[in-house]
Structure 1
Amino acid sequence: MKLLIFTFVGVVHLLSLGSGKAIHKASTPQKTFKEIQEEIAGYTDVAKAIINLAVYGRAQNRSYERLAHLVDTVGPRLSGSKNLEEAIQLTYQSLKDSGLENVHLEPVKVPHWERGEESAMMVKPRLYKMAILGLGSSIGTPAEGITAEVLVVNSFDELQRRAIEAKGKIVVYNQPYISYATSVKYRVQGAVEAAKVGALASLIRSVASFSIYSPHTGNQKYQDGVTKIPTACITVEDAEMMSRIASHGTTIVVNLKMGAVNYPDTDSFNTVAEITGSRHPEQIVLVSGHLDSWDVGQGAMDDGGGAFISWEALSLIKDLGLRPKRTLRLVLWTAEEQGGVGASQYYQLHKVNISQYSLVMESDAGTYLPTGLQFTGSDKARSIMEEVMSLLRPLNITQVFTKGEGEDINFWIQAGVPGASLLDDLNKYFFFHHSHGDTMTALDPKQMNVAAAVWAVVSYVVADLDEMLPR
């Protein structure tokens, strides 16, 4: 009964607000900040209703259960794979069955890479089989593999200092984990930098904040004019072991075999669903996560959780009978892991309407207990978002941080649209990121409930305000 009361208050609130017009039209009078504060404060009961439904009510654990059904049935969803296309079709039908509006698929072309069989065997100073995961878009080795001496370095600077030693060898990077943003450059650029000094292949210490002998895959990028060499990630433990061996002057020889193949781009889809706006259906608040994943684990955390709390945000709003003034558009991206491929094509298709986008939101950093919202936008827009986040005091999640960027929404942010992403325990996130450990076991349904509540409150209130967020 309590939820029904909140729902009624929310509907009354919707009906009582003026229609307004998009603030990008010069003729539209803008509210003072005090008026906006008062307007946002009026959503207190609606926010409580969303929180109660998501965290304590009949919707609790729904996003977790929906996700578990998909990933337990389909598994990981690599760009270009049959698994991904099956996941897209199943999700498309589920979105239609859930009663959301304008559910459709938007065609895109995506990369198609398969890792094939792969192995790495240390043959000197002892026989030892290492765990590896080839990196996305890597070429393969000859069938017999590449057998070569190893050069261990801790940084690109050291590689340059020892460039003369690298020719004809396999470069092993034992870079320390400082932060993901700092350390991931070795995964992305390691093969190119090793090839520039004549290496035959590169092995990169997994970019992980903690390891229990688990390699982590991810994307890497070749460079025009630089020879392409095979590249893979090894475990933190094996990178440190080879560094210790090399420090004693002992020769290390490794046989690397990789059956990786790059195929022509193939057909895929971005998946879209909406709650159509009641007053300004042409104006958009975009809520998103990516449906593709790497081909290890289940892709549950990266980014099944982010995709499914984005779906859950619309479900919560629909369940409460709320219809914001602007359209809430859910987009489940494809081929994010290959560099935002699906999102780039969406942007090219829809950028003609860029002035109609009030906020773009992406959840792609886990769905552990949120600490707040990351946001990129003008100072005035940030002040408005701080007021919106104050509605989440019942969950004690009110902070607004910087850097709201995300792989799939950066196109919009760089063009001036405000952007937001969910922030939670990133250290724990990188325990499992791009590894066999990315399974449903890494997720907590109660924490997903809270993440969904935050996502729903923010997206609904911004979509229902009288005015769009200022640029």
Structure 2
Amino acid sequence: MSRLTTIAKHLAFGALMSACSFGVFAEAPPISDKQKKNAEALIQKALDSDLGFEIVESLTTEIGPRLGGSEAEKRARDWGVKLGQKLGFDRVGIEEFTMPFWDRGHLHIAMTAPYQQPLYGTALGGAAPTKTQIDADVVYFRDIHALTDIQDGALKGKIAFVDGDAMVKSQTGAGYSQANQRRRVGWQHAQRGGARALVVRSVGSDSHRFPHSGMMSSDDGEWAEIPVIAISNPDADHLRRLHQLGKTLSLSLHSESKWEGEVDSGNVILDLIGSEKPEEIVLIGGHLDSWDLGTGAVDDGAGIAITTAAAALIASLPERPKRTIRVVMFGAEEVGLLGAFAYAKQHENDLSNHVLATESDFGAQTIWQIVSNVNPEATALVDEIAKILSPLGIVRGGSDVAGGGPDIIPLAAKGVPTIRLNQNGHDYFDLHHTPDDTLDKIDPDELAQNIAAYAASIYLLADSAVELKKN
């Protein structure tokens, strides 16, 4: 029996149980029979549709890698506009912004002592180039905490290597924030110590020789003045073993990564205009850019496909929902949520009309939980939505959980209510920011389950008369 057949049978059973168990309300239910019927029809249509996979296949194949600010990201914006027009959105456009552009360039890194061995590495976003090839001994640090204790100037002439551990695979991605500290702020301490370069264990849970890229943090607007390289988990393991044997480690590296000046980027906006409250906006989306090592299928072509396909299915209903549904294909997320902050700034005068926001940006595996941060009346609505999503294997999570996704952070900070459809991220940190982030990692059935959940929940939230914002 296929996964889709199983889900379809669960839907039929869920509808029967809902009629038996939830048919009596002390007052009018937050979801009408008509709305419930439309939501269940959207779920079934999503499960039967290949639209989402066709979207992510098109983006990753026709456009490829889409580094924020690059020519490829511009082609992706044009692709997004054409897609929105093709799918029948009522209003399609691009909201432009400017940004600094960082280019990876060529990298060479190898171990030269105790013997010669090439390493697999990648420059981290915001890193400086080498002026000439660097050949230097390595100072080993077991973790980021050991590096932060270094005294100023103590690393002069050396290459600092920050080890750590490969992330433990988990459904929620727990451990990423802590592990990510070596990538984000390690350079500040290495540079303070006078190191010629910093090498870190890449932040991921895989055992392949595929290093994970990612953006570093600036220090009060200042960026690294030294090269910063992430090496794969197996290579980091190798250096650790040699260190434990008491061997002197030396590396040779040359990196061309550098800032290239200001360039144009933008957010693609696709609107389904509400039938009764067009000024009220339910915002969904993903980020259009990707790191340049893979084709950005999992991070975040999948999110673009999930939210765009969900909205397109809602557009196929006989009438528009009451509120406007806006799909935002955010630009330049990977290099600092630049599109998200630009959107919040450009819409600061109408953010009060944004009644809900959420983003899909955690891969393409199935959704398992819905959480929310809306007012109490709307919390009851989300409770009922969770019952409709239950046959998809989705459970109700916290009812006061701030979030919505990385690109939603600037909106949530301004008081926009959020929901989050939490995905199973067990394989996410095997793939994200690596050459392994390619289309073959996406299961079409799992992608369809995501679209079904988004289509039903966003339709019900957009068509409801319930106030979503907290007072």
TM-score by length of 2: 0.88
Aligned counterpart for 2:141 among listed residues 149, 153, 174: 153
The alpha carbon displacement at 1:344 in A equals 0.6
Q: Is the 8 A contact 1:40 1:387 kept in 2?
A: no
Q: Is the 8 A contact 2:372 2:379 kept in 1?
A: yes
| 2:19 alignment partner in structure 1 | none
Query: How do 1:191-210 residues align onto structure 2 when only pairs under 5 Å count?
Result: 191-210=187-206
**More deviation, 192-201/38-47:** 38-47
Q: Which runs of 5+ in 2 are unaligned?
A: 1-7, 9-24, 169-174
**How far apart are the structure 2 equivalents of 1:287 and 1:368?**
18
Name the SS for the 2:275 alignment partner: coil
Deviations 1:290-347 (A, max 9, x none): 0000111101110000011110111111123241111001110000001110111111
| 2:183 alignment partner in structure 1 | 187
Number of aligned positions between the proteins: 437
**How far apart are the structure 2 equivalents of 1:38 and 1:63?**
29
**How far apart are the structure 2 equivalents of 1:258 and 1:226?**
16
1:49 matched to 2:13? The reply is no
**How far apart are the structure 2 equivalents of 1:285 and 1:206?**
36
1:305 matched to 2:302? The reply is yes
**More deviation, 307-316/421-430:** 421-430
Aligned counterpart for 1:273 among listed residues 256, 270, 275: 270
1:246 matched to 2:234? The reply is no
Query: How do 1:377-416 residues align onto structure 2 when only pairs under 5 Å count?
Result: 377-378=374-375, 380-401=377-398, 402-416=401-415
| 1:62 alignment partner in structure 2 | 51
**How far apart are the structure 2 equivalents of 1:173 and 1:35?**
60
**How far apart are the structure 2 equivalents of 1:318 and 1:212?**
42
Q: Is the 8 A contact 1:167 1:197 kept in 2?
A: yes
1:346 matched to 2:335? The reply is no
Query: How do 1:60-459 residues align onto structure 2 when only pairs under 5 Å count?
Result: 60-142=49-131, 144-161=132-149, 163=151, 166-176=155-165, 177=167, 179-224=175-220, 228-378=225-375, 380-401=377-398, 402-459=401-458
Root-mean-square deviation (Å): 2.1
Amino acid at match of 1:280: K
**How far apart are the structure 1 equivalents of 2:422 and 2:341?**
23
| 2:469 alignment partner in structure 1 | 470
Q: Which runs of 4+ in 1 moved over 6 A?
A: none
**How far apart are the structure 2 equivalents of 1:157 and 1:71?**
38
Name the SS for the 1:426 alignment partner: coil
The alpha carbon displacement at 1:85 in A equals 0.7
**More deviation, 180-189/40-49:** 40-49
Amino acid at match of 1:93: K
**How far apart are the structure 2 equivalents of 1:339 and 1:99?**
31
Amino acid at match of 1:300: A
The alpha carbon displacement at 1:154 in A equals 2.0
The alpha carbon displacement at 1:393 in A equals 2.2
Q: Is the 8 A contact 1:413 1:419 kept in 2?
A: yes
Q: Is the 8 A contact 1:101 1:275 kept in 2?
A: yes
**How far apart are the structure 2 equivalents of 1:459 and 1:35?**
23
Name the SS for the 2:246 alignment partner: coil
Q: Which runs of 5+ in 1 are unaligned?
A: 4-32
Q: Is the 8 A contact 1:293 1:303 kept in 2?
A: yes
**How far apart are the structure 2 equivalents of 1:36 and 1:293?**
45
Name the SS for the 2:55 alignment partner: helix
**How far apart are the structure 2 equivalents of 1:48 and 1:217?**
40
**How far apart are the structure 2 equivalents of 1:369 and 1:318?**
23
> Judging changes above 3 Å, is the alpha-carbon distance between structure 1 residues 181 and 375 closer, same or farther for their aligned structure 2 residues?
farther
**How far apart are the structure 1 equivalents of 2:386 and 2:33?**
11
Q: Is the 8 A contact 1:209 1:427 kept in 2?
A: no
**How far apart are the structure 1 equivalents of 2:147 and 2:440?**
39
Identity over aligned pairs, percent: 32
Name the SS for the 1:408 alignment partner: helix
Amino acid at match of 1:205: R
TM-score by length of 1: 0.88
Q: Is the 8 A contact 1:373 1:422 kept in 2?
A: yes
**How far apart are the structure 2 equivalents of 1:407 and 1:154?**
30
Q: Is the 8 A contact 1:43 1:391 kept in 2?
A: no
The alpha carbon displacement at 1:420 in A equals 2.3
Amino acid at match of 2:332: A
**How far apart are the structure 2 equivalents of 1:320 and 1:302?**
29
> Judging changes above 3 Å, is the alpha-carbon distance between structure 1 residues 415 and 172 closer, same or farther for their aligned structure 2 residues?
same
**How far apart are the structure 2 equivalents of 1:49 and 1:108?**
39
Deviations 1:64-91 (A, max 9, x none): 1121122112110001211111111122
> Judging changes above 3 Å, is the alpha-carbon distance between structure 1 residues 231 and 37 closer, same or farther for their aligned structure 2 residues?
farther
**How far apart are the structure 2 equivalents of 1:353 and 1:155?**
45
